[in-house]
Amino acid sequence: MNIQWYPGHMAKTKRMIAENLRLVDVVCEVIDSRIPVSSRNPDINSLTGGKPRVIILNRSDQADPAETALWSKKLSGEARCVIETDSKTGRGVNRFADAVRKAAEDKLRRAAEKNTNAIIRAMILGVPNVGKSSLINRIVGGRRAKTEDRPGVTRGKQWFTVERNLELLDTPGILWPKFEDPVTGMMLAFTGAIRDEIIDTEELAAKLMELLAERYPKAIEARYKVRPEGSGYDILTAAAIKRGCIVSGGEPDITRISTIVLDEYRSGKLGRFTLEKCTLDGSDDITG
């Protein structure tokens, strides 16, 4: 799958992270629980220069819970704290402040020794549409950060005060260099991290169907009343016929069924699916 992206974004990303890094004590890396490999920056370790990190497995409500638990365990080797959240309902978000304080415990201890008050500042980092601003709204209460169901909503950086001693920096979603890798690009497109306008909807839906039919055949069978066999296009075609998506002339309407499948996957109607499985042997460790 060929997804166009502008050149030079890598340099811009590096600059953005470097500039903000000087201002914070903790980096909060927000990951999409459905794609814990593709939604991570492969250069995160070098880019964040050893700053204490909290990993947030967001959208946990949309992922396979058993898989998320495995990922949580695996990623705990890379962060001071890993938490699972659903920023839509707020589930798990109550663990956030403590996680950040734990990550910043060196600074807090030094301040306590000097009898001073330390303000902990944390930067929220992640791919577009993963739920960074929603997470912040859940933490601070209300709808102070702008959120929308499409990538590219947050434009500039913005500070939020959680409590007297804790401040959060919301940042625009950024795509990573590995995004040019076709599998990574596809995973990010499935979940909605990449604008749909630059993607071939039918090709994307066919690829998603193929993957889901392989991983979660029963769910596909139950939802679309089709046999989860053959190519992604074959399954889409069968689903179009079952759903009555037919164009004049009697041909199956692949465009329409493609949009339906992508929407149903993204809204969670199909079920809780993790598209990237966790192996605990370290073979899918992308940060090296």
Ligand X SMILES: Nc1nc2c(ncn2[C@@H]2O[C@H](COP(=O)(O)OP(=O)(O)OP(=O)(O)O)[C@@H](O)[C@H]2O)c(=O)[nH]1
**Which of 152, 214, 222, 280 touches ligand X (CB under 6 A)?**
152
Contact status: 128 vs ligand X (CB under 6 A): yes
278 Ramachandran zone, left/alpha/beta (phi>0; psi -120 to 50): beta
Contacts of ligand X in 12-71 (CB under 6 A): 58-59, 61-62
Distance between CA atoms of residues 268 and 209, nearest Å: 14
Task: Count CB neighbours of 181 within 10 A.
Answer: 13
Contact status: 133 vs Mg ion (CB under 5 A): yes
Pick the piece of the chain touching ligand X (CB under 6 A) from 1-9, 73-81, 123-131, 229-237: 123-131
Contact status: 84 vs ligand X (CB under 6 A): no
- Pick between residue 199 and residue 239 the one whose CB is nearest to ligand X: 199
Q: Which positions ≥6 away from 162 have C-beta within 8 Å?
A: 97, 139, 140, 168
Distance between CA atoms of residues 253 and 248, nearest Å: 9
Are 110 and 25 in contact by the 8 Å Cβ rule? The answer is no
Which residue type sits at 224? Y
CB of 210: closest distance to ligand X in angstroms?
A: 24
Q: Which does 197 bind (CB under 5 to 8 A by kind): Mg ion, ligand X, none?
A: none
CB of 155: closest distance to ligand X in angstroms?
A: 8
Contact status: 92 vs ligand X (CB under 6 A): no
Contact status: 154 vs Mg ion (CB under 5 A): yes
Helix (H, G, I), strand (E, B) or coil at 123: strand
User: Which residue bears the tokens 């060929």?
Assistant: 2
**Which of 38, 68, 154, 191 touches ligand X (CB under 6 A)?**
154
The residue ranges that bind ligand X (CB under 6 A) are 58-59, 61-62, 86-88, 126, 128-134, 147-149, 151-154, 172-173
